[in-house]
Amino acid sequence: MKSLDISIQDMSKMEGHADLSVKVRNGIVQEVKIKLMENKRFFTQAIRNKPVQAIPQLVARICGTCSIAHTLCSIKAIENGLGIEPSEQAMNLKRLTMYGLMIRDHALHSYIFSLPDVFSKDSVLDFEGDKTKFLYDAFDIKRAGNKLSTIAAGRAVHAPFPVIGGFSKTPSQKELKGILPELEKAREKIFSILDVYNECEINYPRDTNFTAMCSDQFDFLSGSIKTTSGLSFEEEEYGALLSDVALPFSQALAYTFCGKPYMVGALARINLNKNALHKETKRDAKKYLQRFPSKNIFHNNLAQCIEILHCIDHASEIIESADFSEEKPPEIPRKECNGEATIEAPRGTLYYELSIAGNIVKHARIVVPTQQNQVNMEYDVKNLVQNSLKTMNKKEIEYAIEKLIRAYDPCISCASHFLKVRWV
Amino acid sequence: MSKKLKIGWFSFSCCEDSTIIFTEMLNDHYAEWSKVIEFQHVRILKKNNMLKGLDVAFVEGAIASEKDAGKAKKIRDNCKKLVAIGSCAVTGMPSAQRNLFDEEKKKEIAFLLERFKLAEKVVPLSEVVKVDAQVPGCPMSENDFLAMLESCLKEFGIR
């Protein structure tokens, strides 16, 4: 095909609304534009001049699916700035909250959004025969993750218990132990989808710099920033290394890291830090882990399912040895400071910088994973289309683009409200 | 095949928290819902969606542009009953927080509103289309949604 004009609007099976434009002329892909309309709800302005205590709940409303990541990252930035060190119990509650999020959100993506692409079906609701089990497996795993966050943090969406310095309420031993059978049940179910993604032949190979915050606990909440190019940074250095890429067609900023495109997310984390996974996860996921490090973007799904297993294993261990008691969060000191933090949200590194004076936020900078993956995604779509022009028809190319973009698991609610796929 | 309630699920300016609650409710209710509900236009679950002839449209989010207002009207024209879902659709907030910005913040965002043809004010759904019922909350309450769905099933003669 020499010239091509296709328009896919409002892509399905992803978080938020998404369009994208691709222009092919004389057999060459001339242009790929992913439109992210971040700041449409202007959260960085809205939280300015608000008291620090209000921030964790306000930023939760940036995104329905990963609200817990925004809540916990804002808390960490404030704690870092004000010099508050959460107790070990608070850290374990944060971990349980985060693991619940990962289990639920990864299951939503890997089963509901991406699995139909493997079986060439439109929807997980269309699965028939022995494949219907995947729909009900998805429900069981999501439910377990949802309950874990609900018990640890009060709710799976806009969790009310995490506050600056700790938790306003501590779950009882009975409540916590009560979730163990469901986690165990979810654990049994995850292996069939691991087999599917392990054997799946969809391949979107890509040389890129994978970047993630890595710790020896693989807890998504602590550690230092590592890259597959061999660099290592402390989290306070992260913000300075991100460069804004102004895209004239998008009101959202895209980012490069150390001046280059990069990829964040589960694939990056497993590529960089698989040795830190829970010992039982490493034992039982051995054959899947052999795939990593992987350059295949579609393996992001396999990586997410391995992370579900890890979250179940580490959460179960924490709960089994937990001896939690009511613990009052510390007083919040008044201090002029600049608090920076990164955590690993489901879709990758989330960065918060909050300047605080008199307990009021004076300036905010928030960088979400999807903005960081955008440049990478555009390159990938460009290559995919270029390499497919001779072998696929227009409809097949369109479907391949959607599969590729879905594999990245973009969160448009976080990054924006729009990503238009429009061929010009 | 017995008659099913043809539903659509849509979202405008919001964080889609109620969409997530809806997908979480499927965990416990899908087996039963699949017998009485046709998921005719649910973008988070499928690509092949049809707008025409919906019984009930559940609409999350506030309206922040003329373009979105147009889309909302199109949904209204294609459904028999329209239910506003969640705080942003029902009250406009928190998506409408920029309506309350001081002059300094308004000045900062003015060029973006202009460049992307966003409306001067973000409004609840009811200012743009006729809303027949609502399920408020940030996110919506599961029990309220269940009760609403039950009343829709009765209203349309499914139960």
Shared domain check, A308 and A194: yes
> Do the Cβ atoms of A15 and B27 come within 8 Å?
no
Domain that holds residue B47: 5-154
Shared domain check, A349 and A229: yes
Shared domain check, A237 and A223: yes
Chains A–B, number of C-beta pairs less than 8 Å apart: 118
User: If you search the block for the tokens 């909302």, which residue do you land on?
Assistant: B72
The total domain count for chain B is: 1
Shared domain check, A380 and A398: no
Q: What angle do CA A133, A301, A238 make, to 5 degrees?
A: 145
Number of other CB atoms surrounding residue A356 within 10 Å: 23
Region A36-55: mean pLDDT is 83
> Do the Cβ atoms of A12 and B24 come within 8 Å?
no
DSSP state of A113: I
Region A76-97: mean pLDDT is 97
Shared domain check, A121 and A25: no
> Do the Cβ atoms of B138 and A158 come within 8 Å?
yes
Nearest to A342 by CA among A242, A259, A272, A409: A242
Interface test with A, best of B10, B13, B15, B26 (most A CBs within 10 A): B15
> Do the Cβ atoms of B39 and A65 come within 8 Å?
no
> Do the Cβ atoms of B94 and A39 come within 8 Å?
no
Residue A137 is encoded by which pair of tokens? Answer: 């497996």
Nearest to A216 by CA among A269, A276, A282, A268: A276
Q: Give per-residue burial for A137-158: e unless 16+ CB within 10 Å, then b.
A: bbbbbbbbbbbbbbbbbbbbbb
Phi/psi for A52 (5° steps) reads -55, -35
- In order, the DSSP letters of A32-57 are EEE---TTTT-HHHHTTTSBGGGHHH
Q: A146: nearest CA in chain B? A: B24
Please give the pLDDT value at position B6: 98
Q: What angle do CA A19, A42, A239 make, to 5 degrees?
A: 90
Nearest to A92 by CA among A282, A290, A314, A288: A314
Domain that holds residue A408: 7-36+394-423
Q: B113: nearest CA in chain A? A: A40
Region B112-124: mean pLDDT is 90
For residue B45, give the nearest of A112, A143, A413 by CB distance: A112
How far is the C-alpha of A350 from the C-alpha of A352, rounded, in Å?
7
> Do the Cβ atoms of B17 and A417 come within 8 Å?
no
Residue A261 scores a pLDDT above 90:
no
Shared domain check, A272 and A417: no
Q: Is A129 domain-assigned? A: yes
Beta-sheet pairing, A420-423 with A7-8: antiparallel
Q: Is A379 domain-assigned? A: yes
Q: Where are the beta strands (DSSP E) in A215-287?
A: 224-227, 232-233, 242-245, 254-257, 262-263
Q: Which residues of B touch A156 (CB under 8 A)?
A: 24
Please give the pLDDT value at position B111: 85
Q: Inform me whether the C-beta atom of residue A108 falls under 8 Å from chain B C-beta atoms.
A: yes
Shared domain check, A245 and A121: yes
Please give the pLDDT value at position A28: 92
Q: Inform me whether the C-beta atom of residue A416 falls under 8 Å from chain B C-beta atoms.
A: no
Q: Are B88 and B14 in contact (CB under 8 A)?
A: yes
Q: Which residues of B touch A39 (CB under 8 A)?
A: 109, 112
Q: Which residues of A touch B123 (CB under 8 A)?
A: none
The upper half-sphere exposure of residue B83, i.e. CA atoms within 13 Å in the direction of its Cβ, equals 23
Residue A203 is encoded by which pair of tokens? Answer: 């391949």
Which residues 6+ apart lie within 8 Å of A333 measured at CB?
A: A82, A83, A84
Shared domain check, A400 and A293: no
Q: Is A1 domain-assigned? A: no
Q: What is the pLDDT of residues A158-208, one digit of tens each?
A: 999 999 999 999 999 999 999 999 999 999 999 999 999 999 999 999 889
Please give the pLDDT value at position A423: 39
The total domain count for chain A is: 2
Residue B12 scores a pLDDT above 70:
yes
Q: Which residues of A touch B33 (CB under 8 A)?
A: none
- CA of residue A129 relative to chain centroid, distance: 32
Q: Is A2 domain-assigned? A: no
Q: Inform me whether the C-beta atom of residue A17 falls under 8 Å from chain B C-beta atoms.
A: yes
The upper half-sphere exposure of residue A317, i.e. CA atoms within 13 Å in the direction of its Cβ, equals 14
- In order, the DSSP letters of B12-43 are -BS--HHHHHHHHHHHHHHHHHHHHEEEEEET
Shared domain check, A29 and A120: no
Q: What is the CATH number of the domain that holds B11?
A: 3.40.50.700
Shared domain check, A310 and A233: yes
**pLDDT tier at A249, thresholds 50, 70, 90:** low
How far is the C-alpha of A52 from the C-alpha of B73, rounded, in Å?
40
Work out whether the CA dihedral A258, A41, B39, A66 comes out positive or negative. positive
Please give the pLDDT value at position A35: 72
Shared domain check, A343 and A418: no
